Chain A
Amino acid sequence: MPISGVVIKCRPEYTEELARSLAKPDAVEIHGALPDGSLVAVIEADSVEGETQIVTGLLETEGVIDVRLAYHNFEDVHMKS
């Protein structure tokens, strides 16, 4: 289960709404909003593709300007048999 920490850059007028609407159990956990309107979130999924799918979805959400990756742990992702 890879886990990542991201900064979601939002248009400030959308921040509050996005902090509510983006949260999804076992997928997107919102940990705080910053003065410039960015949201700090933790993303988890079954696979790296799952994570990037979530991020792609975030990027296509109205009010989201950018999603940037701060931390990615994939210690338990088994790529080789």
Chain B
Amino acid sequence: MEWTRRRFLKASAAAAAFAAAGAMHLGKRFADEAEAAEKGITWGKAPCRFCGVGCGVLVGVRDGRIVATKGDPAAPVNKGLNCIKGYFLSKVLYGRDRLTKPLIRKGNRFVEASWEEAMGLVAAKFKESIDKHGPDSVAIFGSGQWTVFEGYAAAKLFKGGIGTNNIEPNARFCMASAVAAFMNTFGSDEPMGCYDDLELGDTYFLWGANMAEAHPVLFSRLVDNKLKNPRVKIIDLGTRRTRTTQMADMFVPFRPQTDLALLNGIAHVIVRDKLYDENFIKNHVVFKKGKENIGYGLEDKFKFDDEPKAITFEEYREYLKPYTPEHVEKISGVPAKTVVELARMYSDRKRKVNTLWTMGFNQHSRGTWVNNLAYNLHLLTGKIGRPGENPLSLTGQPSACGTAREVGTFSHRLPADMVVNNPEHREKTASIWGVPAAKIPAKPGPHATEMFKALDRGDIRVMWIQVTNPFQSAPNLSRYRKAARKDGRFIVVSDIYPTRSTELADVILPSASWVEKEGVFGNTERRTQHWFKMVNPPGEARNDLTQTIDLARRLGHGNLFNYQGSTEKAIWEEYRQFTTGTGKDLAPYETYFKVRGLRWPVINGRETLWRYSEGHDPYVKKGEGIKFYKNKAAGGKAIIWARPYEPPAESPDRHYPFWLSTGRVLEHWHTATMTGRVPELKRAYPSAVVEIHPDDAKRLGIRNRDKVRVTSRRGTVVLPCELNGRGKPERGSVFIAFFDETKLVNELCIDAYCPISKEPDYKKCAVKVEKA
């Protein structure tokens, strides 16, 4: 790069950093050079392509290419700063092996084809299977990284056109437990609080959530709050020390799965010592109990329906009696006095308490229960629906909320919290879609794990996969990888790079990514964010939305997509009808063009920061205070669920004496298809390691960085070990991140799931560890 240009760009970089740090005046001396650097670059806003935080980014385009990104100073989420993954926005679109042409499998090779040929083949396979074996023999597996349009089109085609509920998102693997608990506690999905709570509160309980690496910008807001206000406390509860732990005031390790016991122990003390808010409970809470001993979904076609039973506060008090601090200590390893201390902090009237969680709670064989138990603490103490005091379920993917959950791209769902097995919901949906109500099946389709089991059995023969990589990310992976290549199966994968899923496909369709198409995402705090198309996709790559509509036309369902003018706008205005008057109201399309997103419900152009709260949520009438108005059956009250501790599906034993947990690292997004592209310069492909406690390593004769073999009943992997990484497991536990496509750690994971949410438990299975 020419020296003058470099100087100008460094000036831009410094100026932007000063501005983002709130000290624009200190960067004034760079102004002229920064301006010169910016010549020819057009900037457009977009939410970041990566996680569920939904940071604002300004994307700089020159000559049809993205040449720069900036944190968006006007974005309330992140105020001009991104996390380290922001660096990879430069690479999402420009890896060398970007897919640019449709590919059709011929034996062990892929041959380039035209779109006409590829889509003709895909449509023929769909049609053949539907004709011979019925609409439930085909399926689509989509994504919390789908734009709202892509998810909506897929749901409309499959449920309203083909007439099957066989649509599932990868969000079944990450947020389903959170959703199930939102629904059975509050009658409506998604948080009542928002990111403003990160500055307004003073006590933050982080449960099984490595926020420093998985939600870095939110964590930095928490840390900023803490550094400004010494009163602020961060309590990190988990099964392993992480970078998050370093900034916490207190670390509380507990044995895997015993979060259930610990939460009940805290509730026990709150109730025992009368630390609860009696008035709040009287006015806003009812108590329920469900089925127990509910299994783990390991058998094919496993079925479970909960049986809620109303109970009294007295019965709940009785229920909690066994969860004494001493008993909880025995189960969880958390000292009895710590249980009491936590209960006191939760109920301290002078503390504004928040609970935050993600995968530790959700990817859990009792994920719905543990979410319920977290809400119990806020409902007992009345610390909910108030600025600075809320439970906040953190979302992993950029649009698991906006697309998968809000549009309802699940086998049992319809848009706006509605479900297929409710005839009124089917009526309403059919009327907006312009299809006969009878078209939408009443019976839910299989959830994701069961969908892949169905593919294995041959009940599902044709599967389209869009914007996700299940043949690297599914649990008990080997079974499903083999399933994809069985005779009589036809797999179509739409993606932007070759992945461990495209390699098993029969047809690969090159897709557009991020700002190569117009899009809308919805983040953790209900903020819906829009972006315009800014650059063209490469080669012949096409928007997934276009691909889905193409299939619709070829299958005779083109009438579902006969929109006038902009397809995106037409879809938005049609979809928006589902939300009007429901408390999930979305604004007219153009509203989102200028603003940095709006948090729904949006009424008369005004967003809602705190749901269910008088003065904040327009659906709450004057004098009502707090009203969980979506729980009509419960008279606008929330549910405290009595749930027990139950052990995991598989615990360590003599043969497999270690716990295995899996998860992410800061630098890599999920299966690293976007963040891990091998660069120009020859560099070792980033490799996953197994974190192990030094005492365990010593006992096994393993030294730091030695190659180690980790084996479960389902699979095995060899990789270097790390004794002193930024993640430090407890004795008897190991941790492996799942980003590395050469180390398919999910082959070791067990496909046990929460029977209520159907979300698999990626955090607990039994393995043995030996020197390789």
Contacts and interface: CB of A to CB of B under 8 A. Distances in A.
Nearest to A30: B14
Nearest to B683: A49
Given A46-B681, A79-B96, A73 B68 contact: yes
Contact of A73 (B9, B17, B88): B9
A40 B87 contact: no
A48 B88 contact: yes
Given A42-B10, A55-B84, A70 B20 contact: yes
Contacts of A36: 227
A5 B87 contact: no
B311 interface: no
A3 B81 contact: no
B223 A72 contact: no
A67 interface: yes
B10 A60 contact: no
A34 B23 contact: yes
A79 B84 contact: no
Contacts of A51: 87
Interface residues of B, number: 59
B6 interface: yes
Contacts of A68: 20, 71, 81-83, 217, 220
A66 B13 contact: no
Contacts of A34: 21-23, 26
Contacts of A55: 84, 87
B220 A5 contact: no
Contact of B83 (A31, A46, A69, A81): A69
Given A5-B13, A7-B17, A60-B726, A71 B68 contact: yes
Interface string B63-85: 00101111100000000111110
B34 to A, nearest CB: 9
B163 interface: no
Given A9-B223, A36-B227, A48-B91, A72 B18 contact: no
Interface centre among B17, B26, B70 (most CB of A within 10 A): B17
A73 B220 contact: no
Given A1-B6, A56-B84, A40 B90 contact: no
A66 B681 contact: no
B754 interface: no
Given A4-B13, A7-B21, A72-B68, A65 B247 contact: yes
B95 interface: yes
Given A29-B10, A32-B26, A70 B17 contact: yes
Given A7-B17, A40-B21, A44-B10, A70 B90 contact: no
Given A1-B1, A9-B220, A55-B87, A73 B667 contact: no
B62 interface: yes
A72 B91 CA distance: 12
B593 interface: no
Contacts of A42: 10, 13-14, 17
Interface string A17-51: 00000000000010110101010111110111101
Interface of B: 1, 6, 9-10, 12-23, 26-27, 37, 60, 62, 65, 67-71, 80-84, 86-91, 94-96, 98, 216-217, 219-220, 223-224, 227, 243, 247, 538, 666-667, 679-681, 683, 726
The 4 closest A-B pairs by CB, nearest first: A5-B13, A71-B16, A5-B17, A75-B67
9 contacts: A1-B6, A3-B10, A5-B12, A42-B10, A43-B13, A48-B87, A72-B68, A78-B680, A80-B538
